Amino acid sequence: MHLERLEIQGFKTFAKKTILTFLPPKGGRFPVTAIVGPNGSGKSNSADAIRWVLGEQSLKLLRGKQSDDVIFSGAEGKARAGFAEVTLQLNNEDKSMPIEYENIVITRRLYRDGTSEYLLNESHVRLIDIQLLLAQANVGQRSYSVIGQGMVDHILVSTPEERKQFFDDATGVKQFQIKRHEAMLKLNRTLENLADAEMVLQEIEPRLRSLKRQASRLEKREEVETQLHALEQTYYGNLWWQLVDDMSERKLTVSEVNKKIKTIEKELSDLEKKMVEIEKSETADDGLRALQKTYREIQHKLGQARHTQFEAEKEIELAKIKAQSNWAPLPLIKIIEGIEEIKKKLSFLSSRAKSRDLESFEQLAKIADETFTFSNKLVSQLQRPNATDMKPDPKLVAKLSNLKQEEEKLSKELARIEKEIDSYAQKEKKARTELIETQRSLRAKQQDLHPLEQERNQSEIELARIEERQQGLIREMDEFIKERAVNLRNQRVKPDKQTEDAYPEIQRLRYKLELIGGIDPEVMKEYTEIQERFDFLNTHVTDLRLAMHSTEKIIKELDEKIEQQSKKIFGEINKKFQHYFKILFGGGSCSLVKVIHSVVSNEEGTADQVDRSLGKPEMTQQEGVEIQATPPGKRLKALNLLSGGERALTSIALLSAIMDVNPSPFVVLDEVDAALDEANTIRFAAILDELSQKSQFIIITHNRATMEKADVLYGVTMGDDGISNLLSVHLEDLAKNGTARR
């Protein structure tokens, strides 16, 4: 990789667009480019332009106070520029930068409103992207790639910790440090995200547990409701269709009995008409006539008594069915209250019995009786009553008893009159044979009619009982199974012999539902939403922890790689430093020593201290580099005891060592030889000529010895308008035309 082109426009004194081109490598070495010119002409601004486009953020190093100080501020007859732009074109055919482009163009642009942008091959990128690419190619704006005025001496007078940053670039670990820094920032962000996610999890977890319990109850409720609905379907379906079948059967029986009764009643009517005709045609005995009249009256009274008795029996049966149909299970709260009341009384009885207080025996006996009565009442309220166990209205029972007595009395009276009529019939057998036979037939038909009427009455009572049960069942179905009742009454279900046994289970399931209680259906929706959010956050937390583990592993690997490479390259630089030191000084000794200092730090939020409490001072270990130099004939090792020239030679020896061991693709040296005498300048120029086989040098200088080693000279001049202008001379062309070179 090497530098091909530099374009400057609006940067400091380069108001007009200025282009510097650099020769490609030739003959196994890179051509040396020298930039010369009088003081104040803007030579160093070209070095600042390279440093700026490489991403330098320090205004101090750029010799400015504000960001817009790098923009051309105007001159006499020339307005100030609206922006500053520097473009650096690099040849990347050797793929020193891990990017597919063979020509890489880096552009930095700054406007007066403070807007800035970085472009890579005309695509907008971040500064960190530029820095990482440059670090991977061993180029950096703060490394030895660009050595500005005073920076040579600064290496020596800086602190060991500041030198450590310089040597990080020199050992080629900057790219790994950038990656490590990004990894630490990522780890910090991951820790923050993890803390936020865990905080949210802690907030929603109690609500989720509560909703989970309610959802579990709702699931149990749905399960119980499913069982209950299936059981109710079978139970009420069987009861309903059994009643329908019984009603059809009873209606058929009543219809058949009515037909028989109508037939006998017609025969009775015919016989009565016949008797009336016989009585009209014959002179009947007054006694027999009176008996027959009495017999008919008693028969009529007996019929009325039986009908009234039938109505009373029907009313009693319907009252029993209504009492059973109107029974409702006791609410759960009432059951609990009843049990608590019994528990309280039993506890009192137990405590008083243990005291053996005989004086309160009567009181205890009274409380025991009350408890027994109350418990029986509670049991009766909990159990569904049977129709046979229901006690009818005493008035109806008394009325029915009187009616039965009256029926028995009338039946006896009727039997007596029948005997008298039979006695008359025997006496008058010859004279009134037809009348007597008709009378006997009439009595026989009436006797046949009585059991049929009883059968009809019983069937009608049973039919009324079935109808009342059906009405009660309709009310119960409408109350408990609601809209399902209509479909159940319209669609026949398969018969089940265990229908009656299912009712206790239905009651148990209803009590269980009452115990579970009602739950808002929105609970399940909220539970689902919060559960999904909880699962998402939980998965997110797991992913964050995995990401942390992965990032920590990457950081550890980078630390190992940094340590290994730094140790290896640092040792090689130390050897080369000693080599070039002896060349420049003609002897002497020098060395680079790594040192570790313990310092108190209270920095907040640094990427390398993710576990530090904010603002809490703590002891940290900081690594630095000490430089020891002893010129020949001296025993001094402290750098501050060296003269200016000795410090410059020491710095140049160190830079030469670094460029030899870990060469940068290009190096910009801004008057680093200013403090050297002519002899040392010649030695420095010889070293540059040697190192040009590894790096491309752009040198800003005033020394002729350095200029003589250059292949291209760029002259920078400045007119009265305060604008830097550029002219170039290719020394190889001048040599061909007979120009002498030293």
pLDDT for residue 19: 92
Burial class (CB in 10 A: 0-12, 13-18, 19+), 232: buried
Q: How many helices (H) and strands (E) does the chain have?
A: 17, 14
> Which residue numbers in the chain have pLDDT < 50?
430-431, 602-615, 740-742
Task: Compute the distance between CA of residue 614 and CA of residue 490 in angstroms, rounded to an integer.
Answer: 77
Task: Give the separation between CA 248 and CA 238, rounded to whole angstroms.
Answer: 15
Domains of the chain by start residue, with CATH: 1-145+670-680+693-742 (3.40.50.300)
H or E stretch covering 199: helix 174-281
Which amino acid does the sequence have at 530? I
How far is 429 from 431, CA to CA, in rounded Å?
6
Inter-residue contact 616 to 679 (CB < 8 Å)? no
Give 2-67 as a 3 state SS string: EEEEEEEECECCECCCEEEECCCCECCECCCEEEECCCCCCHHHHHHHHHHHCCCCCCCCCCCCCH
Helices (H), 326-356: 332-355
Contact status, residue 706 vs residue 697, Cβ threshold 8 Å: no
* pLDDT number for residue 9: 92
Q: How many CB atoms lie within 10 A of CB 294?
A: 16
Angle, helices 361-382 vs 332-355, to 10°: value is 160
What is the DSSP code string of 360-428? GHHHHHHHHHHHHHHHHHHHHHHSPPPGGG----HHHHHHHHHHHHHHHHHHHHHHHHHHHHHHHHHHT
Mind giving me the DSSP string for 689-729?
Answer: HHHTTTSEEEEE---HHHHHT-SEEEEEEE-TT--EEEEEE
- Secondary structure class of 576 (helix, strand, coil): helix
> Rounded distance, CA 1 to CA 9, Å?
24
Structure tokens at 209: 């547990």
Pull the structure tokens for residue 634: 């001296």
| The predicted structure's pLDDT at residue 608 | 44
Between the CA of residue 233 and those of 125, 158, 466, 509, 735, what are the distances in Å? 73, 94, 20, 14, 115
| pLDDT for the residue 119 | 94
What gap in Å lies between CA 74 and CA 67, rounded to an integer? 16
Identify the pLDDT of residue 684: 85
User: What pLDDT was estimated at residue 600?
Assistant: 59
C-alpha 216/C-alpha 220 separation (Å) is: 6
| Dist. CA 374–CA 342, nearest whole Å | 8
Please name the amino acid found at residue 173: V
- The helix/strand/coil state of 592 is strand
Nearest CA to 599 out of 590, 589, 609, 591 is that of: 609
**pLDDT recorded at residue 34:** 92
Reference 5, options 17, 15, 13; nearest CA is 17
Amino acid 429: pLDDT: 53
What is the per-residue pLDDT for 605?
42
Q: Enumerate the β-bridge partners of residue 597.
A: 622
pLDDT reported for residue 110? 93
Query: What's the token pair of residue 605?
Result: 């939020």
Q: Given this model, what pLDDT does residue 332 score?
A: 59
Closest CA to 669 of 513, 681, 679, 23: 681
pLDDT for 738: 53
